[in-house]
Chains A and B, each alone.
Chain A
Amino acid sequence: MKPRLELRDLRTRFDSFEAVKGVNLSLRRGEFLSLLGPSGCGKSTTLSMIAGFLDPDGGEILVDGRVVNRLPPQRRRIGLVFQDYAVFSRLTVRENLAFGLEAQRVPRDERERRLSAMIEKLDLGPILGRYGGSLNMSEMQRVAIARVLVTQPELLLLDEPMSNLDASLRASLRGELKQIQRELNQTILYVTHDQVEAMSMSDRIAVMRAGELLQVGTPDEIYHRPVDRFVAEFIGDPPINILPCDVSVSGGGVSVRTALHGPIALTLHDVPQGRHWLGVRPHHFRLAEAGESGAAASIVRFVENLGAEHIIHVDYGDQLAAVATVPHAAAIGDRVAIAIEAGSAHLIREDTGRVAASVPVEPVA
């Protein structure tokens, strides 16, 4: 089956600034894919090109295998949900829903048929007569999505729809959006700078920086096997520890040493000697017994209390490292021993920022 959406070497520039530098991406039918990156990375620009609001300088956009570059937005069969949902506050829910269909001059019978179907699917019956301005955010999200879905798009685009909302409200809206998407098997491309949003809703995530896609994968792949330092740091809360390390070759083996840990034997041989980084997630450190093989002593400087767990911040060379622990495992000022969980550190090349390998952590005897 052809992908619902395919981008081939999509690119655009504003004067001399290359905003999108040759993006290749495809979405399967029914897939929820998030385009994730910091502000200014080109994600919204990419979305504008897909929607048809901005002409690319190069590359192709295909919907169901058909190039749509030259089609106007309304003929691409792509629906766009705006930031903050933007439901018309002075129109009723029914009028909001009918708005797009009237604009498209869908015949009355067809219009009514689609409206009834959508009202039932998204359970909008009880609020049909209410004005947009009187809806709560959960209702507004449903109306904003329903209003686009009645135009029967093959693909739904959402551009940071929840960016201005409180954290707790965002969490419940995420669940509801994902539920709608699954029930309708709707293909969604979701643009966000919030890694928790992307991780919690997506089948796959495409991480973007400076106009380029760095990695496309499932949330688990992106978290456990990041391809470079940027992805490793952008994904995960609390963030990954980036620790300076030394890679050395001795007696035919390659080993790595940080301020506190090592030597750790490496199985790979194509990393140049010298300074690199070791990326270790807070959940891949653990408290160990003093004197345990592979454990190193340090001092706790701060304890973050998350209720269900505590993140302790310990001295690590001339910086701090975050270590996830059970509550009350250690207090400020305590001496602790910390170890790295086997196979869960990432060696990151200093010159390219690429992850060279996930490191099997076994102390060298």
Chain B
Amino acid sequence: MSWLAVENLSKSFGENTLALDDVSFALRKGEFFGIVGPTNAGKSTLLKTVAGLHRPDRGRILVDGEDVTALQPKDRKLSLLFQNIALFPTLTGYENIAFPLRTAGVPAADIVRRVTEVAEMLKIPHLLDRLPRTFSGGEQQRVAIGRAIAHPTRVLMLDEPLTNLDARIRIALRIEFKALHRDTGQTMLYVTHDQVEAMSMSDRIAVLHQGRLQQIGTPDDVYRRPANRFVAQFVGTPPMNIVSAELSDRDGRPILIGAGFEAGIDGMESLKMRSTLPKKIAFGVRPEAIAVAPDRTDDAAIAAEVIWIERLGSRHVLDIRIGEAIVRASVRPDHPVSQEGPAWLGFTPRAEHLLDPETGLFFR
């Protein structure tokens, strides 16, 4: 049974802004569930609605089978760590972290032990005796995280908890969130705009865009089998190339014919909808799945022109013109094609990367 279920949730602010549009998903107990999307996707609205700070226009929220949609925030027994943290200004670091433990009636000795434990984990023992106004931004954030994780809760909801922290602390805290999750089985609902963070932390992720859920799946699933054009280009850097082509047959084998190129397709037999595919089609191919060569080979037989190379240090990203299309390929910096000019390309799109150019949906 699902532990937290969100059913058909919609929420609008005013007449023209539909912040959440029929959003449904369910978390298993103990799951680390990420919600990812660009700015204004509706991520924070979703968390606040689940927490009870917004009343939904439609839909239900169930925790452990109980409908909590009409309950006050405090009665939902969920925790939410905001992006803009607010510590109690008159309480020390220690008392801030101890607060949820005291409210829950945890015995005094256990409170001391738990606060000390959390403070060491977050590397903030030096803040326990001080007041929040003496903390830096990063220190405030760590104390707030300490307060959020001090006491187990039915679902711990975190809204971009690691933005504005420097890279090294961010990695350290990601490790701590994962360890907390592993050691305590705490169910986590984690919101971020950073697709790498979501992919790295989560058992499953839900991609949100313009208030609508685009896809739910494991990180690998979302990367390898995106549901639509938005997901394909939001997850992964540089984004997946999407190119128009015509689907045809040659000698009984399916091929893609584009302006200035032809390509085979891998795994076509696995595609259920094969007979119903339209002739005008588009396909996706990841930048790392494109072979580039200085001379024509069996794997790179499409005449192309490298028009620009981004030299990013650990990899080079090539803008390559084939016919009327421009695709981007990602190669190692020691790749033999290191200058703009003629080159040869090869790619064999996978059947699950064929999409409808009109709707942007991948065929499954």
Contacts and interface: CB of A to CB of B under 8 A. Distances in A.
A305 B200 contact: yes
A168 B330 contact: no
B136 to A, nearest CB: 17
Contacts of B236: 306-308
B167 A301 contact: no
Contacts of A327: 220
A133 interface: no
Contacts of B4: none
Contact of B308 (A168, A178, A219): A178
Interface string B305-322: 000101111100101000
Contact of A220 (B239, B317, B333): B333
Interface residues of B, number: 34
Given A166-B39, A168-B239, A304-B196, A219 B313 contact: yes
Contact of B310 (A168, A199, A235, A307): A199
A292 B238 CA distance: 34
B345 interface: no
Contact of B313 (A166, A178, A223, A301): A223
Interface in B269-292: 286-288
B53 interface: no
Given A305-B219, A308-B286, A171 B200 contact: no
A306 B199 contact: yes
Interface in B228-278: 233-239
A235 B167 CA distance: 14
29 contacts: A171-B238, A179-B308, A196-B312, A199-B311, A200-B312, A218-B311, A220-B313, A220-B333, A223-B314, A235-B313, A236-B313, A237-B313, A281-B313, A282-B314, A283-B314, A301-B175, A302-B171, A302-B174, A302-B178, A304-B200, A305-B196, A305-B223, A306-B196, A306-B199, A307-B236, A308-B288, A308-B330, A313-B171, A324-B314
Lowest 7 A-B CB distances belong to which pairs? Answer: A223-B313, A305-B199, A200-B310, A307-B236, A283-B314, A308-B288, A219-B311
Interface of A: 166, 168, 171, 175, 178-179, 182, 196, 199-201, 218-220, 223-224, 235-239, 281-283, 301-308, 313, 320, 324, 327, 332
Given A302-B171, A308-B287, 14 more contacts: A168-B234, A171-B238, A199-B311, A200-B312, A200-B317, A223-B313, A237-B313, A281-B313, A304-B196, A307-B236, A308-B236, A313-B171, A313-B175, A320-B171
